[in-house]
Amino acid sequence: MCDVPPHIHDHNYWRRKPSRSESSSNTNRMETDLRLESSLWVGSKRYRAVLTGWHFNWTEVDKKNRDKKTISVPVAEVVGVEEGRVEILPQKSVEDKDKDFTVFYVKRSSSGGSSGLLWRLGRTQFSCPSRVLRDQWTKHLRTALKTHSPLRPHRLLVFINPFGGKKKGRKIYHSLVAPLFELAGISSHVIVTERANQARDHLLKKDLTGFDGVVCVGGDGMFSEMLHGLIGRTQQEAGLCENDPAVTLQPCPLHIGIIPAGSTDCVCYATVGVIDPVTSALHIVIGDSQPLDVCSVHHASTLVRYSVSLVGYGFYGDVLAESEKHRWMGPLRYDYSGTMVYLSNRSYAGIVQYLPADPLLSSPRDKTRCLSGCSVCSRSTERLFPHAADSGSLYSSNLSQFSSDSEGEWVSVEGRFRCVSLTCMSSSCPRSPLGLSPSAHLADGTGDLILVWDTHPLGFLKFLYRHTSTQDQFDLPFVEVHRVKAVRFSVPSGKEEEAYEEIVGQSGGIEEEERGYVETVSRSGSQQHLAERDTGRQMTNEQKTANPFLCGLCCSKSPSVSVWNCDGEILPFTEILCRIHGQLVRLYARGIEDGTAAQHCSEERDKCERRCILHK
């Protein structure tokens, strides 16, 4: 490192700029007026560093004192500040230099084939002419972090699934995530799960005081556990009955973080845009907040499950049921099962009733995408929680989103369907970059209902293939898509008994734990009793000897009913009621960023409140 020339002292000063508004609050004055400026050195190059209310900028200065390249980092995306010359990844190392400090921040890069941007830990080591100036910089940077990052977590409850995906959950957390949490000053209580639903049961029953959020290191299954646990706990404490489909569920106060480490990571991909543990960990560290709609699924006034991704009947239900018979194949079982189900060429009779959403707000065919800072979701926040700004918190507003069905009339259609699907998000994934419904929104209080009528096998194949490309899968004569607030599904009159018998037979393929789950919810009316469910019930003889759901291509009689696939779990009922609960949970995410997030900012730097990295 080069010695700092003596003349650098001439460039050191710290000052306050004039206030923009004398009537503004103290907090706003601190955000806009605070200014620290001096010359700093990075290696052998001199930079003019400036800390304003919203950004930390450093501009390279040549020998003639002319400005060259500027790097600007939003204060909200500064991860941490350390004295000395510090390394964090792949392992921590500290070189104690009393005139140096290191700034860690979010750095973006292209993710290649994914729809979002990869986040990496940027690091710049600055040298000061004196220790006093070094201490001044570290103090004011840390003060700015506290001012501009009110949602940053301080204590997290972390669940690690050691068996999910490639069984690398523990390694991913300890090697990639834990060092970032430590850098940001986040303390974590880590639980390595030993059984299914352990995370859900813990969230339902244990003391959660002092935690700012919960984090799952796993896939969609682990996320679903935590989703059910948090929602159930919140309603339990609010004295609300989850079995009532019309009840206004209370939004969960704790954020959920997802570190992808599972076989499927659809929720992470749809809310971040990439499946990358470091990117997800950095979203958690800086306290990003992304509201998420949740779909409740009821049968006969009994809560069955919650869903955020897919509630699918017909093709998607059949594929899941078939794949359960081939778990030994690993992930290949889904391709195999999809092929077998497609060749079986099945369709199912059903009655679909839906409550349309306001078509003036948005449409599933409007070609828009729900990206970071989505205006549709922002307007929905104001519509769903109009008093939140007055109270200072979304969670103090408990409006009845479904207080009356008079907001619109139910529409009913009947016929034979290849598949019936409801999704609260695009449900994009690496194999389907745009997802089941490309224009679906994460937090607008609606879901997209996709009806695929019975059609020729080649037509249905075209529908499936378009999910892997940019072609519009809804631009087919046998496909309908509707933006809805609620959906009812039933089988035609006279088929109820036959449907019940077939579902009972199919339940032989459902794990004992799942049947206990459904029975206990029905008995108790609350998830708080799920941990006490009766796991000793044995299968009946009929269930033990029941034929598998898919009998093969040579089966003489096709089943008259399918099963519901609810976020990768088979539901034991055919007739269900689904309702969308707007912004019921919040994730440590910000939605999918497009490429412009790493480009130039058109606003003045001191006024820019966007979380973007600027390059000049």
Residues taking part in catalysis: 220
- What's the CA gap between 243 and 526, in Å, rounded? 7
d(CA 378, CA 62): 44
Cα Rg of the chain, angstroms: 27
Q: What sign for the dihedral angle of Cα 360, 363, 367, 368?
A: positive
- CA 560/CA 318 separation, integer angstroms: 12
Given a contact cutoff of 8 angstroms between Cβ atoms, the answer to whether 85 and 102 are in contact is yes
Task: Tell me which residue of 115, 119, 123 sits closest to 87, measured CA to CA.
Answer: 123
Which residues, at least 6 apart from 535, have a Cβ–Cβ distance to it below 8 Å? 512, 513, 516
* Distance, CA of 586 to CA of 315 (rounded, Å): 31
Maximum alpha-carbon separation in the chain: 93
- CA angle, 189 then 192 then 195, to 5°: 135
Residue 290 phi, psi (nearest 5): -125, 110
41: tokens are: 């050195």
Q: Which sign does the torsion angle of CA 281, 531, 574, 303 carry? A: negative
* Number of C-beta neighbours around residue 501 at 10 A: 14
Q: Do β-strands 213-218 and 255-260 pair in parallel, antiparallel, or remain unpaired?
A: parallel
Closest CA to 427 of 546, 346, 542, 309: 309
| Category of 110 on φ-ψ map: left (φ > 0), alpha (ψ -120 to 50) or beta | beta
**Bridge pairing between strands 290-299 and 576-587:** antiparallel
How many beta carbons lie within 10 A of that of residue 504, not counting itself? 14
For residue 566, give the nearest of 312, 227, 293 by alpha carbon: 312
**What is the enclosing helix (H) or strand (E) of 118?**
strand 117-127
d(CA 581, CA 385) in angstroms, rounded, equals 12
Q: Are 235 and 225 in contact (CB under 8 A)?
A: no
H or E element in which residue 137 lies: helix 131-148
Strand partners, 24: none
